[in-house]
Amino acid sequence: MHTLSVSLIQTALFWEDKQRNLSMLEDKILGITEHTNLVILPEMFSTGFSMKPSLYAEKMDGETIAWMKRIAAVKKIILTGSLIIKEDGNYYNRLIWMLPNGSFGFYDKRHLFAFAGEDQFYTAGNKRLVTSVNGWKVNLQICYDLRFPVWARQQSKESPEYDLLIYVANWPERRNHAWKTLLTARAIENQCYVIGVNRVGADGNQINHSGDSMLIDPLGNIVFNKEHEELVYSFELTKEPLMEVRNKFPFWKDADNFHIIEDQQND
């Protein structure tokens, strides 16, 4: 069966300093010596979790998208992470799934973090992004989405909709118990691998982040978890354990049928 090689980057971010962040991340990505198919960056990797989109938003033909295209082509990887995008007069916390050939998909964060005022500055997305690589189906989500299990729930009873669920985040250390617990729950209930990639260090609001980036298997076992350290962690996922869990414990077949009704304001 196909394998999937993944590298996650857990790092501190320079507050609202795009140039320093892109330079730092480029050094880390180009420094990866292992073969990798996919490199995952944190949420708002070019700025940190900023509520100043009018100052730091870019368009889809802007510098950071061009940077992602160049890095993905040079390293022959898929590169993913979220940044601030302006489109049609709205601001989005948008995750980009950049392919080596310059093609890309994107996902706009569905659940905006009202506690920090994100909903006052950004527009919520209304469509999930489930994409594929090397025979793996991948569901891509952002930070606060983690608290809403329906948005991540497998939606097909014919076969599981995806194999890997990824969350990119700027999740505060003070709530890291919830982060670790919910990532584990998403793996168990969806019978999939889950990867959470979070930043470390204090942001411009003096909110500290412990990282706690994680890889969790379909049974909810924590394969990798590291707190506080800046690191690049590379690993290989194989389909056999995933298929064995789903075949031995076919709980996914008994899931409730449901349909997500979109908000009219987002249509």
Could you give the residue numbers annotated as active site?
A: 43, 109, 143
Q: Are 1 and 34 in contact (CB under 8 A)?
A: no
- Integer Cα distance of 154 and 157 in angstroms: 8
Largest CA distance in the chain: 52
The one-letter amino acid code at 84 reads: I
- Integer Cα distance of 51 and 205 in angstroms: 11
Token duo for residue 240: 């056999």
- Integer Cα distance of 150 and 153 in angstroms: 5
- Integer Cα distance of 5 and 196 in angstroms: 15
